[in-house]
Structure 1
């Protein structure tokens, strides 16, 4: 039995390209080049049948380390809490006030991109500080 070494994270969403570009900014990811034969993604999109236009988009870690993110349009909106969420590791290795300040600075950057800060969870006896946020379509994620 083989062991899977790579995986993709898929987001159901209303606006795939918009959400993909948001996550590119969050994670430093890149949009891959347009398919062969097309100069731009817009040109490729216009070549599709109307019902397939703007239906999906993807981005990936330029270093090749992180998973590919895939965004697919679905007709229904988000109605309940995510069962799975991304944790953006902005404070890895930091503790106390230094960690909190780093997380708050990253939170401010992401809010400027359209994210929403839900709550700041301060360190306690067991856990370091983290910040619960929502992306531009309301999906929960954490800064930790």
Structure 2
């Protein structure tokens, strides 16, 4: 068997192994074996093929793999827009019931209604924003014993 064919087989086996392990290392070794196979197909001697494999492996594992791992391990994207308001506190400016009301969230005034349609939130109460539907904040409020309910 020609050496370049052996390199292609090694590349295929390493590529398959990479699919099962997802370590990024075996895939880079497969690319280096593919480069060595290409060098063999071009007629370079076995020593040159081994050198191509060694240099390709070293470059892949030392340079490419750390960069790829950093890109994979990036933190989740920051929430922005209305998604950033979910989970924040809102202060009701008017009574909030199923027909509506007004609340201040992060310095902005929003239309609001309770998440539970049977709930009535008095003016001045601090509630949690559970969702945003269009331009309306859906609020949840738990009354405490020192606050009076209407």
TM-score (ref. length: structure 2) = 0.21
Task: Work out which of the two has the higher radius of gyration on C-alpha atoms and give 1 or 2.
Answer: 2
TM-score (ref. length: structure 1) = 0.22
Higher percent of residues as helix: 2
Q: Which has the higher contact order (CA 8 A, sep 6+)?
A: 1
Higher percent of residues as strand: 1
